[in-house]
Chain A
Amino acid sequence: MTITSRLIDVAGGRNKVRVYEGGDGPPLFYLHGAGGLMREDRVIAALARHYRVYAPLLPGYEDSVGEERLRDMLDVTLHGYDVMQALGLSKPLVVGHSMGGMIAAEMAAIAPNEIERLALIAPAGIWLPEHPIVDIFALLPQEFPGYLFHDVEAGAKLMTPGGDMNDVKFLAEFMIANARRLGTAGKMLFPIPERGLSERLYRIKARTLVVWGENDRLIPPVYAHEFIKGISGARLTTIPQAGHLVGHEKPDALVEALRTLN
């Protein structure tokens, strides 16, 4: 499956957004997590086998720009709709992972008639004091795989293809890109990844599927129940032997779960 990308104008040129696109089938709008998309992203590739996938990069990621005008959750939520409009999408299946799941849920809550089918993959956005989520903003680069993957060793290779964190030049480049990405993510996730979403979940009308990796060490699976409780009629699929990056570890299982929303 060929995935291509292009840079589009969003919100009358206020943002320029790189959109990855590919596949045939019903439209699917995919919102990535705080780490962005990976090179030759496995999740996008898997989704494109059954859907026409549109995966925009949030400003602050790669060459998507205009992040300085996205300061808070409302800005980012409306930006999501701006991108959908720029792509001419009408009622796609909206899928968001982690931070992207938080954005997707906010979009579905703010304009409940615009989104009919919604998939939240290990979404952020709720904070349970008795289950604190690890502070990703205080992690060292080499610590990420341990929190993101069920299979940590394989995950580490996936995150740094052809690179070595012990090489200063590679590490410097990684850290600069990471600072820009997580700098943007921080507007939603720092210092606590919560912006009042649980108060708004009741507004969501979409048929909603919540997907969680059974061994998620970043946002523990106990959070799934909060989303299920908050969104009327939402279903939960738990995927075994998968961590927070559940779609990267188990792409087929993820797609199979999503297809129940068709």
Chain B
Amino acid sequence: MKFTWFHLMPWPHLPDDFREKYRSVWVDIPTTLYDAKRGHHVYHDYFDQLEYAETMGFDALGVNEHHANAYGLMPSPNLMAAALARRTSKAAIMVLGDSIALYNPPIRVAEEFAMLDVMTGGRLACGFPVGTSMDTNYAYGTIPALTREKYNEAHELIMRAWREDEPFAFNGRYTKLRYVNCWPKPIQRPRPPIFIPGGGSIETYDFCLEFDYTYCYLSYSGYMRAKQLMEGYWERVAKAGKDESPYRGGFAQVICVADTDAEAEKLYSKHVHYFYNRCLHVYPGFADAPGYRTVKTLQANMITQLTQAQLRNYPTLTWKDLVDQGYVIAGSPKTVYDRMVDLAKTLRVGNIFGLFQVGDMPSDKVRHSTKLFAEQVMPKLKAELFQEWKNEDRFWIKPMQQNERRQVAAE
């Protein structure tokens, strides 16, 4: 299995009465709640945590892209990846931006990802999210019904820019370039591994299968609620006649490890509640701009979505609810191991994006949980699960050999 230590970089200083006073953590949250001097420390705490995760043996360090969002302070994930590039040496740098429909012209993504891949010696894993409606439509103004078409065109341009050796003309509907000439080119040829975050669109399943990209469900609702969605994906995999490599799938999970189950609640409960009650407080009017999802996808999911939205009343969920219902995998290393096995088998995912820093959790707790997981849970999961796929290498980075690479990481 591959474990990505994934950071959302939430703002940890939202007020206690945030839910009551503000309608949304995203899109129209006032920036008076942000404090740039505190933000300086927050960023460096978060970088330290990511760098620590590499020393603990995680396969990848994950960053992502959000806009006008107080739980995701990374409008530019590429900047974060660049900052990590020279401070790390082994782990993949997993960038789950870039929302390629939002870059104008999208050749910018081909260039920046190529730069990152070269700087890291071929350690870049890149995500091409369509982007949530909050980011793509409300914060960045893309017309919802044209988002997917724009995305597809950007994807075609980026792939060709990496693939072709000669400059070429690109006459797209949204981007017209007389000279496409991507300098530099990535180390990983024809491309770095690509991860596509999705939320159940049939179009996204098919897109991943067409190009052998890894489909990632980055929900915060836990693996039990993800079962139906991932089953839909695996059905689509089977229908397309593709192999069932678990590395075709990924899942994000909040994970909190302590010495005992009781200790986990004591240490982490407060921060987990901060995350679910404040960070995920999104105004429903921003959830899904009309036209963003296709009618086909809406017809498949609408009733489930509405029903789940009614059930997902975070403020009423206790620690026990969150743990029992699998939103959070928390407890002793033994408990967490058992739940992780259940997760991997239920969803058949080889990629885990572990969220260890949750809400306003401070660094000492983040490290404690990360260390316990890395030492007492991760090795066993790696040794035991999906052994029939242990030689799978199609979906992971292929860096330069160690002896070819410059040693630049800070000690």
Residues of A near any B CB (own CB < 8 A): 67, 71, 137-140, 143, 168-169, 171-172, 175-176, 178-187, 190-191
B144 adjacent to A140 (CB under 8 Å): no
Complex Cα distance A139/B283, Å? 10
The B13-71 residues at the A interface (CB cut-off 8 A) are: 27
A172 to chain B, nearest CB (A): 4
A172 adjacent to B290 (CB under 8 Å): no
A137 adjacent to B290 (CB under 8 Å): yes
A171 adjacent to B290 (CB under 8 Å): no
Which residue of A169, A178, A191 has the most chain B CB atoms within 10 A of its CB atom? A191
Interface contacts beyond A67-B145, A168-B306, A179-B291: sample of 16 additional A-B pairs, CB < 8 Å, sorted by A? A138-B27, A138-B138, A138-B285, A138-B289, A171-B306, A172-B303, A176-B298, A179-B298, A180-B290, A181-B290, A182-B291, A184-B291, A186-B143, A186-B290, A190-B143, A191-B138
B residues in contact with A183, CB < 8 Å: 144-145, 290-292
Closest chain A residue to B290 by CB distance?
A182
Closest chain B residue to A180 by CB distance?
B295
B residues in contact with A172, CB < 8 Å: 302-303, 306
B146 adjacent to A71 (CB under 8 Å): yes
Which residue of B145, B289, B295 has the most chain A CB atoms within 10 A of its CB atom? B145
A186 adjacent to B141 (CB under 8 Å): no
Measured as residues with beta carbon below 8 angstroms from the partner, the interface class of chain B is 20 to 34
B137 adjacent to A176 (CB under 8 Å): no
A176 adjacent to B302 (CB under 8 Å): yes
A186 adjacent to B145 (CB under 8 Å): yes
Complex Cα distance A178/B144, Å? 13
A74 to chain B, nearest CB (A): 13
B69 to chain A, nearest CB (A): 15
B285 adjacent to A139 (CB under 8 Å): yes
B137 adjacent to A191 (CB under 8 Å): yes
Given A71-B146, A137-B289, A181-B290, A175 contacting B302 (CB threshold 8 A):
yes
B residues in contact with A190, CB < 8 Å: 137, 141, 143-144, 289, 291
A residues in contact with B137, CB < 8 Å: 137, 190-191
B286 within 8 A of A: yes
A residues in contact with B241, CB < 8 Å: none
Which residue of A139, A175, A184, A186 has the most chain B CB atoms within 10 A of its CB atom? A186
A138 adjacent to B286 (CB under 8 Å): yes
B144 adjacent to A186 (CB under 8 Å): yes
The B337-373 residues at the A interface (CB cut-off 8 A) are: none
Complex Cα distance A162/B312, Å? 28
A168 adjacent to B303 (CB under 8 Å): yes
Closest chain B residue to A67 by CB distance?
B145
Closest chain B residue to A137 by CB distance?
B289
Complex Cα distance A71/B27, Å? 25
The B117-155 residues at the A interface (CB cut-off 8 A) are: 137-138, 141, 143-146
B residues in contact with A139, CB < 8 Å: 285
B7 within 8 A of A: no
Enumerate the 9 nearest inter-chain pairs by beta-carbon distance, A residue then B residue, closest first: A183-B291, A182-B290, A138-B285, A183-B145, A179-B290, A172-B302, A191-B141, A176-B298, A183-B290
A186 adjacent to B298 (CB under 8 Å): no
B345 to chain A, nearest CB (A): 32
B residues in contact with A71, CB < 8 Å: 146, 173
Given A138-B138, A182-B290, A169 contacting B303 (CB threshold 8 A):
yes
